[in-house]
Structures are given as structure tokens and as C-alpha cells.
Structure 1
Amino acid sequence: MKMKNIEYFDDVRSLQLSPRKFLSADHDEIMAGYTTDIYFVKTRDLLKENGRLDVPVVAEIFSKESGVFAGLSEVLSLLKDKGVKVYALEEGMAFSPKEVVCRIHGPYGSFGMYETVILGFLASSSGWATAARECVKAAEGKPVLCFGARHVHPAVAPVMERVALVAGGCTGASCILGAKLAGAEPQGTIPHAAVLIVGDTVRTAILYDSVLPEQESRIILVDTFKDEAEESLLVARALRKKLDGVRLDTPGERGGVSPSLVREVRWRLNMEGFSHVQIVVSGGLNPDKIRLLSQAGADVFGVGSYIAHATPRDMTMDLKVIDGTPIAKRGRLPGIEENPRLKRFL
């Protein structure tokens, strides 16, 4: 049964929800207008009464601060077949404060009610992309993996991890759906739970090697039971050339992953002929920590909370032209603000 679209205030009043397991909106509910702010629905009633619901307008979207643009693919899915033209930056492009990042031409009634949704797509995704890009820049060419799924609601985790790859520049993501949406395979080792249950890091490493396909990287956690440098050597001696890397995820209660720890692990691995073994670091990383750990010899960085907890870019949509006449509310400039970097997508 087709879901009824929200068009006017009476539709909202009559909306009845069935019991649900999870509280997130599904795709059909977003398309039907269930996640919009109520005042845009009331506006439709007002404009219909006035005969102005489908007046042609131009709307421009900008952010008050700089960032990396993302979220456009979802906006385009929302507005496809709505009879509008969409001009925007490409996902992954950096933007400046107040720069127009997206422009929509069309009848107000075709897209106005979706302002909440459009801004939400762009605000959240651009925030995640900006944080991911900061980490990627700090790593200076070394791989950065997004491990942020556990820090956000599972309904948006795939959105975040996909954005971290396609717009932020991360080389991998741990969330299965997020990685697949980005055209990549999910990446990650095993949790401490596996090592704790097996009861020994070397035994875990041998089992890991025995059950994984050959093409999968052998990267082993080495901070569960013993000193990280000691466990790194024990695992390296067991797997030899098969070992691709060791992962340091030392908790804050033990001082976290420090530059001195990374230097020691690197030194000891090199001394025993294991220079091919990479050092993967994770646990509370941010751009400053990435720079320090990279200088100390870390090769790969797993970033979770810094990307997941990124501040959304505060996006605003303004009507700038109505029925061919330039117009704007006080404090804004009437008429189109040209941006040659915009490209037509719809």
C-alpha cells in the first residue's frame, strides 16, 4: 500500500502511526514528508489559499562556516522528478563561509516543504566530511579508516561512513553498509572480545590467520593481555611474513596510544626483521594526535568519535527570487549570488 504524502495540515492531523521496532524514519517516510517541520506544511495551506503555492522561485543554500560539501546525492534522490533544477558544488569540494553551495530553481510547492530534509542531509554529511578531511590531511597520505559507526544511531551510521570515504577522503570504513555504499569493502580487525574469549593473543592470531581468506589483511590487536611491544613481537614471530600489521588501541586508563609507545614498537619490530609489519593506531584520535603518532612511526589511523561527533555545518536556505523578481529578507542580498563553481545536477 502506497504511503500517503503529507501535503496540507489536515494530512498531519490525520496521520496515524503503526507500532514500530526502531524509531528512525524509513526512506518512504522521508519522501512522504513525515520528517519535515510542521511550519512548512502550514505554509502550503496558506499559499494554496492565496493561489501562490506553485509560484516559481530560486532558493540558495549556504553555510555560516567553511567546510567540505557532502550530502548532495540524497538531496538529488529527494528532488528527482519534482520538476526543479539543482545546481551545486560537487561532493568533496571545500567551501567558504556564506558561499552558495546549492541553488534550486522551480515551483515552491514542488520542494519548499522539504527544506528541513534538504538542510539536514547537507548539514550532517558536510560536518562528517569536514572532520574526515581534517584527519586525512593530518595523516599526510597515510591511510585513515572511519570507525565511527558505534558513536551514532545505526540508521545514520552508513551515511556517515560513506561520506567519510567519498567526500572526506578516508581509505576505508568498518561499517558494512557504509563501505558497500561507497563501493568499497569494509575494513577492520577483530575486537578485544575475541582475544579475551580465546584467552591468548598469539593463539588468537593463529586462529585469525587460519579462518580468513588469503586476500584479507592479517592485522592483530596487541594490547589485550601484555605489553604492546612484547605482544607485537610474539605475534610477528608466530605469523612471520603473513602478518600485515599490529593494532595499538591502548585505553586511556593505561595512558592511551602515545608517540613513545609507537616508536618502541616500531624499533623492536625492525630490530627483529619485521619492518614490513605496519602499526595501526586507534582510540580517541584527532588531527593533532594523528600528526604526532605519524611522526613517531604509525602507518594507519582508525578514527571514530572525531568524525562521528563532528559539528554539522549550519546550512541555511533563502528564497532569493520570486516570480522573476529579486528578493530577500533583511540582512540578506536579494537576487542570485553567482558562484561559477556550481554545476547543474538536475
Structure 2
Amino acid sequence: MDARHVPVLLAEVLKLLAVAPGERVLDATVGLGGHSGAILEATGGDIELLGLDRDPRALEIAAQGLARWGERVRLAQSRFSRFPEVLAEVGWEGVDAVILDAGISSLQVDDPERGFSFLADGDLDMRMGGVAAGEAPAATLVNKAPFERLRDIIREYGEDPQAGRIARAIVAAREDRPITRTLELAAIVAAAYPAKWRATARQHPATRTFQALRMAVNAELAELEAFLERIPDYLRPGGRVAVIAFHSLEDRLVKWAFRREAAGCVCPRDQMVCVCGHVPRFRILTKKPVTPGPAEVAENPRSRSAKLRAAMRLGPDQAWGEQP
């Protein structure tokens, strides 16, 4: 397994999923195989595991690391929102456990040519699936999007109060020549920040802008929404799903999706009579998100913003889901 890859909240994931021998497991973001490998180890390999990832290079590394489990493991290049199609392709009607790690991988961040890092020079790309993914690279968004769209992306996904200044600086800079390199964009963003902000900032001024552009390029929130909407239909009764989010907007989507599935009536509050017929399908297993402890953050600083939530699929005769 790649030495740079440290699976986040590993012990907590294993405990919450509680995978038993003979079960089918979906790792919707297999990455370099850290969580999958640990689940296989914990069950002595007596499970079937399907791992998905957009990134073909990540799948190559995961395949090497998980090779000793042989036919117990299947890997497929796919967005995690398309998991039902992949399940159908392998002949699975449902699964017993699901793990989704919504964070960007070290493999992507540490390769300058992928364009995710503002600390090393590379093409302004940011596509998780690589060049063959079909999406437009970040350079297209940076150089073609109108000011208003750039501002809104940086404000919403980056939660940056300087979004207007940054977007204005990008638009002004691209009038001279296209912005095609990561360090070029990082310098433009840093210069757009007020001097006092730059002097007191605890992180690089470009951190939030790069995060926002990456999320927009890869449609990350739409991907997560689609996954959360579809996963209850494919979890077997008693099956568990665990999602690790690294952004407040992602965590909010997970929280409300789990709450909605754990609730009874989901009609508007001002409606006197229930007409939705909604039946609780989840029991929430984490009243609050599980976060890394000091030891894990010290060992893996990139884990510091991780938030883990989990839920269990209820059967038709089981008790109601836990109410928020």
C-alpha cells in the first residue's frame, strides 16, 4: 500500500460498520485501498468487496495492495453516484456495508501535474478522473466563467469572505493572458487578499479558492446528493453506511439525508394531515459526527477536518429510526 496513504478514522469506521464474514461490502471511494484492506483484514477476507473510484491510477495502486484477496475483491472505475449501475454489472442486488470517504486523496494532491495543489506548479486541471474523465479542467472554469459564477463558486464552496475580490482579480488577470498554471492562480488569489488578512492568515490565501474550484470541476456536492438519495434502496436490512465528509456543506448533506431517512412523516410542518406515507428506513448510529482525536491529527494532519456519520438500514419489522 502506498506509504503516503493513511485511511481516516479507520478504527471508528470498522466499529460502526461491524462487517461480518459472508457479507457484501461496497467501498464507494476505494482510493488506495486503506479502508477496504482493513475491512478485509478484520474479517479474514471472508467477504465480497466491490471498490469504486474515478481515478484510474488510484485503482491500479488499490489493485496491487488488495491483490492477495484474489476474487474476493472487484474494482471498477466509476463515480460513486453510479454505484447502482456497477452493482447491476456485477450481479449484486444489495450490499451489507458501505463506506464512502468524500475527501481528496494524497495521490491526487501530491502530484503537481494533477493541478490540485497551490504549493507546486502544474497544469490547472483538478479532474479527479484525470484527463480521460470527460469533464472540463479547472482552467476552463477559471478562464471562461463570468465574474458572478466565479464569485458564487468561491463564496459557496470555499466559504471565503473575499470571494468578490478574488473573482474580480481572476477576471482582470485573464484579460492579459489565459491562466493555465496552479502557482499562477495561487499568486493572483494571494494578491487579491488585503495585506492585513495575508499577514494574519493561518492558511494560504488560495486554500479556499482551490477547494471551491475542485468541488465545482468534479460536481462533488451533486455526486454526494445522488449517492445519499439512492443508497437506502440498496442496503439490506441491518446493513450499515458510513460517510466521511471534509467540508461543512458535505457534512450537512449527510446529516440531513440520514435524518430524513430516520424520520416518519416528511410532509411540510404546516400540513395538518400526513400524505407522504414515508416510513423510516434508517436508524442513526452517530448522534454527532465522529472526528479524529489529537493523536490521529498529529499523525495525519489532513484528517483534521474529517467528520464521520453512520446509519443502519431498518427492516420492515424493526423499530423506528432514531429521531434527531
Instruction: Pick the TM interval, shorter chain.
Output: under 0.3
In the superposition, the TM-score normalised over structure 2's length comes to: 0.25
Bigger Rg over Cα: 1
**Higher percent of residues as helix:** 2
Tell me which of the two structures has the higher relative contact order, counting C-alpha pairs closer than 8 angstroms and 6 or more residues apart: 1
